[in-house]
Amino acid sequence: MSQQVPVIVLREDTERTRGRDAQRNNIMAAIVIAEAVKSALGPKGMDKMLVDSFGDITVSNDGATILKEMDVAHPAAKMVIEVAKTVDAEVGDGTTTAAILTGDLLKQAETLLDQKIHPTTIISGYRKAAAKALEVIDEVSETVDPTAPDYKKILIDVAKTSMSSKFVSTHKDTLAKLVVDAVLAIAKDVPKDEELDIDNIPRQKQVGMRVEQTELVKGLVLDKEIIHVGMPKKIEGAKIALIESALEVSKTEFDAKISITDPSAMQGFLDEEERMLKSMVEKIVEAGANVVIAQKGIDDVVQHYLAKEGIMAVRRIKKSDVERVHETTGAAIVSKIQNLTAADLGKAKIIEQRDVGDDKMLFIEGTPKSSVVTILVRGGTDHIVDEVDRALNDGLYVVRDVVMHPQITYGGGALAAEISKQLRDYAATLEGREQYAVNAFADAVESIPNTLADNAGLDPIDVIVNLRKAHTEGKVYHGIDYTKGKVGDMKAARIVEAAIVNRQVVMSAAEAAQMILKIDDVISSRGSPGMGGGPDGGGDFGDDE
């Protein structure tokens, strides 16, 4: 029996919470985040005004945006925000739903923990329930046929459903049609099994016009003006030199040690600079280019000679736009102007500067890659343009989701109610305490129609009772019909969603809930409030799972 000497492993200022306390803390934090976004869910959801540390304001109804802007310290709260970000990155919609579901899964788990059901049991029950929920999604989803006459109409319905919960929902008809046209346009050039990338639909924001003036234009549009008044404003049969380096003589190219002693040396110096600049223009002319698109600056002298040669030029183009010009026109991205040859030039039928509202923009049309489109996003103020842009983003994503994975489900809580019903049937077939966990999962899923009802000012209890009844009678598409203010057929109401969005929501929420439930020890290296964690906030600890 030796005397126990305490071994000190953790720093003195380390904060540590263990066991039930750690769990309770984590669960509470996750629930707080979920509760915060609940009122934003659905078409009747409210907007949130977010003010960052600089006092900048964002007004949004978009779950992902709200969650991203929230500055939280608690690691478990951060994990809920991670769920929303993952869902947003993967499928582009369903973020609020995912956060709410995560919170409610944990809220239900808390009750089970209070009844002394072990976390391991809850976790395994949740795993089974999630797998079952995915089966239900597959079972009730409908496959859409891209060759069917109503294909486009279904895609528009999907976009409309997604945008109906946005601040700009009054314009959803116009915007939904626009996003479908945009996605179908770029889909033309993408092989079936390849990823459709929404980033290939550039959006140029413009403040000062009406939302319904948002438009889809063929071709690539750069928010740039031609740099010199003497240059042509329109070129047909464009041959484009795409240059990455500055068309300037950088000062370091001259030896800093040159000391100029007499005026003639100074003149020689300037002549040399002019000669170098002129040779750049000669190189461009020799290659046969009539348009210069430069990522960096263009010296005044170069501008002057380019204009003299009848060559159009724009400068300081964003890197992402340079890539797009490269992809759509076939122009090589040239870093050394001395190496420019005719083979490097890109092509376009027309390049023209046009007035767009109060701005001037450069339109590049008739390129080798024909499927290029740009969306000109419009609205009266910055905040509105941003919210239109977010709505378009969601719309583009969900349409892409269905184009790539042609399965649809019905919204307004219809799918959730069906999952919940089938989970309860499934729970009854299980032995032991896992049954409780599966039932708890079913209750958590029901929080979606519950919240939708609540946000619409309907009585959630009435709605849930009627929903359960409808689903017991086999009405799998019954959800909350907002227009009638009661339970009704969502298929008839055309509240259509991408099945893959719902799959992602279930997977991400269930995973995060399980991960949080597995934690029974929180060690934070600097005693920050709550269990905020160390300098990097400790919020990333979910990543190493």
Question: How distant, in Å, are the alpha carbons of 241, 248, 261, 270, 542 from that of 265?
Answer: 35, 21, 7, 9, 66
Q: Please identify, among the stretches 92-100, 228-236, 363-371, 428-436, the one whose residues bind ligand ADP according to the rule CB under 6 A.
A: 92-100
> Least distance (Å) from ligand ADP to the CB of residue 43?
5
Contact window for ligand ADP (CB under 6 A) among 18-26, 35-43, 226-234, 295-303:
35-43
Q: Which of 58, 60, 95, 504 forms a contact with ligand ADP (CB under 6 A)?
A: 95
**Least gap, CB of 181 to ligand ADP (angstroms):** 21
Among 93, 110, 157, 446, binds ligand ADP (CB under 6 A): 93
In Å, how far are 116, 133, 387, 450, 515 from 434, measured between CA atoms?
13, 15, 43, 24, 17
With CB cut-offs between 5 and 8 Å by kind, which of ligand ADP, Mg ion, none does residue 452 bind? ligand ADP
Chain-centre distance for alpha carbon 503: 17
Name the residue among 180, 294, 138, 137 with its Cα closest to residue 226: 294
Q: Tell me the closest approach of the beta carbon of residue 133 to ligand ADP, in angstroms.
A: 15
Task: Return d(Cα 535, Cα 526) in angstroms, integer.
Answer: 8
Residues with Cβ within 8 Å of 22's Cβ and at least 6 positions away in sequence, in order, are: 519, 520, 521, 522, 531
Cα 34 to Cα 385: distance, rounded to the nearest angstrom: 27
**SS3 label, residue 512:** helix
Question: Which tokens belong to 362?
Answer: 């450069």
User: Coil, strand, or helix at residue 545?
Assistant: coil
Q: Please pick, from the candidates 93, 248, 387, 446, the single residue that binds Mg ion as defined by CB under 5 A.
A: 93
Quick check: is 95 catalytic? yes
Q: Is 540 a catalytic residue?
A: no
Considering the rule CB under 6 A, would residue 395 count as an interface residue with ligand ADP? no
483 to 512, contacts with ligand ADP by CB under 6 A?
495, 497
| Minimum distance, C-beta of residue 456 to ligand ADP, in the bound complex (Å) | 8
Q: CB–CB of 190/327 below 8 Å?
A: no
Binding track over 435-454 against ligand ADP, x by CB under 6 A = -------------x---x--
Angle at 336 between CA 330 and CA 341, to 5 degrees: 50
The window from 52-60, 75-83, 91-99, 378-386 that contacts ligand ADP (CB under 6 A) reads 91-99
Name the closest residue to Mg ion (Cβ): 93
DSSP helix, strand, coil percent of the chain (3-state; round to 5): 50, 15, 35
For ligand ADP, which stretch binds (CB under 6 A), given 67-75, 87-95, 150-158, 521-529? 87-95
Within 40-59, which residues bind ligand ADP (CB under 6 A)? Answer: 40-43, 45
Contact 374, 321 (CB under 8 A): no
Out of ligand ADP, Mg ion, none, which partner does residue 346 contact, by CB within 5 to 8 A per kind?
A: none
Q: Quote the least distance from Cβ 64 to ligand ADP, whole Å.
A: 7
Single-letter amino acid code for the residue at 149: P
Q: Tell me which of ligand ADP, Mg ion, none is bound by residue 403, counting a contact when its beta carbon lies within the kind-specific cut-off of 5 to 8 angstroms.
A: none
| Span of 118-126, 132-140, 159-167, 237-245 interacting with ligand ADP by CB under 6 A | 159-167
d(CA 352, CA 322): 17
Tell me whether residue 262 is one of the annotated catalytic residues.
Answer: no
Query: Would you count residue 94 as binding ligand ADP (CB under 6 A)?
Result: yes
* Beta-sheet pairing, 142-143 with 57-60: unpaired
Stretch that binds Mg ion, among 163-171, 205-213, 294-302, 383-391 (CB under 5 A): 163-171
The answer to whether 411 contacts ligand ADP (rule: CB under 6 A) is yes
Q: Exactly one of 17, 25, 60, 96 binds ligand ADP (CB under 6 A); which one?
A: 96
| DSSP structure string for 109-177 | HHHHHHTT--HHHHHHHHHHHHHHHHHHHHHH-EEPPTTSTTHHHHHHHHHHHHHTTSTTGGGHHHHHH
Candidate list 65, 96, 329, 367, residue with the active-site label: 96
Under rule CB under 6 A, residue 161 binds ligand ADP: yes
Q: Is 58 a catalytic residue?
A: no
376 strand-pairing partners = 204, 215
- HSE at residue 447, side-chain half, CA atoms within 13 A, is 26
Nearer to ligand ADP, 40 or 384 (CB): 40
- Interface contacts to ligand ADP, rule CB under 6 A: 40-43, 45, 63, 93-97, 161, 164-165, 411-412, 448, 452, 480, 482, 495, 497
Q: Which residues are catalytic?
A: 62, 95-96, 394
